[in-house]
Amino acid sequence: MDIPSLHSRFLADALPRIQRDTRVTGVAVAGSIAVGRPDVYSDVDLIVVVDDEAFGAVMADRLGLIGSWTDLVAGFTGEHVGEPRLIITLVGPPLLHVDFKFVRTSDFAERIENPEILWDRSGGGLADMLVEQPLPDRSLDLQWIEDRFWIWVHYGATKLGRGELFEVMSCLGHLREVVLGPMVARRVGELPRGVRQLEFIAPDEARALQATVCGYDRHEAGRALLACVELYRRWLDDSGAAVEHRRHAEELSLQYLNDVIGQAS
């Protein structure tokens, strides 16, 4: 596994310590390390697999356990991203971002990407679980997006009209994260992950997305909303997907946006 030296040292130091806890049945790594694209700025997405019967006790002492495995600087739980099993940490120095996700052995195969198994107490049982339970379908649902996109455009236009530019900037970020970024990833055959690594996996589309970024300026914000619309239409047409277009919503929302921009001129 070709990973940066800091990440490699962390794994070499922490893994033997984790293995000493007999309640732990395995350790895996996900994210950029698992897919073979880590760099010095990558975090470590560690999966700690725990015996089902011991899971409650381990969850109750997660920060203490992590502190015994590595030099813990700070950590907090991941409820804000919908994952209470997650502990998001900084370890070091030198500082390294490490996410520790604790999962029951019986839940190990429930995943959104294939992890790299670093150690398996059973000698192969975890790998067998991955084979027996294939990855769920993560293809982008363009109909889901089309059903929502024009409502989001109208929302951004109302905030532009009121002069809530911070809210418009937030709306633009949402459109990049939930709509345009995933559409770009689909175009280049990557899994949709918001706007992560778009500069590297799709440099041409990333340059086009620059038009959707604005400063704290009403005219720039209006132009950026229009750029979101233009890119969405273009990339949806290019997708070749069978989508039922919400033409009436598109017409009225775009008319409203242009009216708001005109009033601001």
Environment class of 44 (CB within 10 Å of its CB; exposed 0-12, middle 13-18, buried 19+): buried
pLDDT in tens, 3-46: 999 999 999 999 999 999 999 999 999 999 998 889 999 999 99
Of the options 1.20.120, 3.40.50, 2.60.40, 1.10.10, the CATH number for the domain spanning 142-264: 1.20.120
Q: Give dist(CA 172, CA 195) in Å, integer.
A: 12
Same fold, 5-132 and 142-264: no
- The answer, yes or no, to whether residue 88 has pLDDT greater than 90, is yes
- The answer, yes or no, to whether residue 1 has pLDDT greater than 70, is no
Q: Give dist(CA 258, CA 260) in Å, integer.
A: 5
- The answer, yes or no, to whether residue 257 has pLDDT greater than 90, is yes
Q: What is the CATH number of domain 5-132?
A: 3.30.460.10
Domain boundaries defined on the chain: 5-132, 142-264
pLDDT in tens, 148-186: 999 999 999 999 999 999 999 999 999 999 999 999 999
State pTM to two decimals.
0.86
pLDDT-derived band of residue 65, with 50, 70 and 90 as boundaries? Answer: very high
Q: Give dist(CA 249, CA 149) in Å, integer.
A: 9
Provide the pLDDT for residue 8: 96
Q: Give me the mean pLDDT over the 135-140 stretch.
A: 82
Alpha-carbon distances of 251 from 39, 154, 175, 255, 258, rounded to whole Å: 45, 11, 18, 6, 11
